[in-house]
Structure 1
């Protein structure tokens, strides 16, 4: 009998993890070996279990999903990570792939898509949910704001996202393990690039660009 695919689930909602675990338990070829609710915990579990596939939510407390993907992939270039998120905008897909993820699917996708994605990534292939591939072809030209957001560095994007969600610079400093002055400098750079002067304007740009939901 073929050895099951070892999977780690990373999501900050216990009920969500329970639902996914139940779904995956119906598939004999997949074995959920551990769960984590924060990126920091996911890294430790990754080192312990060395899973075939790590399923990573992007929106979590602490360092968040994108930074967790970057840290794991920086330490292990062979890591196979599937981003599994409520976000269905291409900016998130591109950010996850740039961070090192091998695939991306939406939490609104059919249950069979999750299983298919896990199997594909475990086999060494990439997997992007077909709807995202279609959107990348059909999407209209990006606005200036979207283009600027795409051009932000990984750290700038992390800080932009947290500022747009209403976090203070002190809280962002704590969550991302960065110095307060560093976060403040990132905030200044972001506002300069977007030509705005207030957090309220950043929130508006994030909303109209689809980076966050109202």
Structure 2
């Protein structure tokens, strides 16, 4: 990918992160911000919008760091295992391990005595479903071998990027960070082949 496409990817993902965080923020904290809309407090709405957008820029940068880190790790994995099928098997094991951990350890450390484990499972299942949908789209876009790497990125890398909110364990922050990360990660994963295709077209 040339420098022009990298800059395009960087700023478009940055914008997407800011917008998705602003929208998510108003939804998850509607009980707090509803009064701003009911009273038509334009200045207050704009202030919150700017703050949420700024937070979203940070989430977007975290997402982009994770994306380029994964591209490097993926190449290392292919080089070490020297087999796509073996590297994919390792990724599947890591996906299952991380999904189990995100349920087990969050429930163990943060759940109240006697609390249901269902909310903790629900988040993991939600991430899995979103990851599977994006991975399927990636497979349709490229080839069948892209499914597992895309699923790994959408689940494992997203959860690693999500760690700051997981440590706080505040429900609002959990969703405020998770949604933009999923949006930005999916966008980068699906837009990269298009950018590379445009580059090849211009060369020819």
TM-score (norm 1): 0.23
The structure with the largest helix share of the pair is 2
Higher RCO, 1 vs 2 (CA within 8 Å, ≥6 residues apart): 2
TM-score (norm 2): 0.24
The structure with the largest strand share of the pair is 1
Structure of higher CA gyration radius: 2
